[in-house]
Amino acid sequence: MRLWSLHPRYLDPQGLVALWREALLAKAVLRGETRGYTRHPQLERFKMHRQPRSAINSYLATIHAEATHRGYAFDRSKIGPIRAVQSIPVSSGQIACEWQHLQRKLLARSPAMLVQWSSVLTPTCHPLFRSQPGPVASWERASGGA
């Protein structure tokens, strides 16, 4: 499961569809509707949020907006109510780690998108997140060539 801290605009089509599916799975986990992935490290920051279900809905809403912008037909009814929620801090080290991870994926899957984003030095994070200085998150598992 990869719940990107990066804005979904940077994802290639495969990445955007995978993110939608994985965020829906995360929503099911947070609602107690599945037994799998309940201890997945990517879910820690959502579980620690004061309003975890509202936070995941907000996360999904941005993915949906990006998909709609690209002309995809993701099912809006799967998101649930959207409420204003407190942002989740994400470290600059985590953003940099994810950016490198995504660049490796784009090199293999979508070289044209890698070229499109090649001038971006500091990518924008997903609107649910607020960047702050710091190292890679303790839950990150994508070190090296993952």
User: Which pLDDT value is given to residue 145?
Assistant: 39
The two three-digit tokens of residue 113, written as one number: 């998108």
pLDDT at 58: 97
> Does the model's pTM come out above 0.85?
yes
Buried/exposed 118-134: b ≥16 CB within 10 Å, e otherwise: eeeeebebbebbebeee
Report, as ranges of residue numbers, the positions in the chain whose pLDDT lies below 70.
Answer: 142-146
Q: What is the pLDDT of residue 143?
A: 55
CB contact at 8 A, 22 and 60: no
pLDDT score recorded for residue 146: 39
Q: What is the pLDDT of residue 42?
A: 84
Q: What is the pLDDT of residues 56-95, one digit of tens each?
A: 999 999 999 999 999 999 999 999 899 999 999 999 999 9
Report how far residue 124's alpha carbon sits from residue 98's, in angstroms, rounded to the nearest whole number.
Answer: 11
3-state helix, strand, coil in the chain (%, to 5): 50, 5, 45
